[in-house]
Structure 1
């Protein structure tokens, strides 16, 4: 009496499965880096606006 289920997959299915698993790991890393870059860009623009207002108030 055998309880194991055996499923055969083609090499193409194996490659697609591997690519999908890699994408699950790579996509969040790309997304986090892009969001981090955009936040840094927004903060630098905000900092430049703040320093410009301080300089113009003194003059």
Structure 2
């Protein structure tokens, strides 16, 4: 695992811990769906978390 991958993983875990139970379930489903295809699943999951946390902070979702 490269240094960048380690940083991405730490970021993902940090963002994941901010999600609600329902959001974690959605995250897990998306991550599992995309991890076997050519898309970088970690980047996709991080973007989902960032969007979700941002919406939560704005009072959405």
TM-score, structure 2 as length reference: 0.34
- Between the two structures, name the one with larger relative contact order (CA 8 Å, sep ≥ 6): 2
TM-score, structure 1 as length reference: 0.35
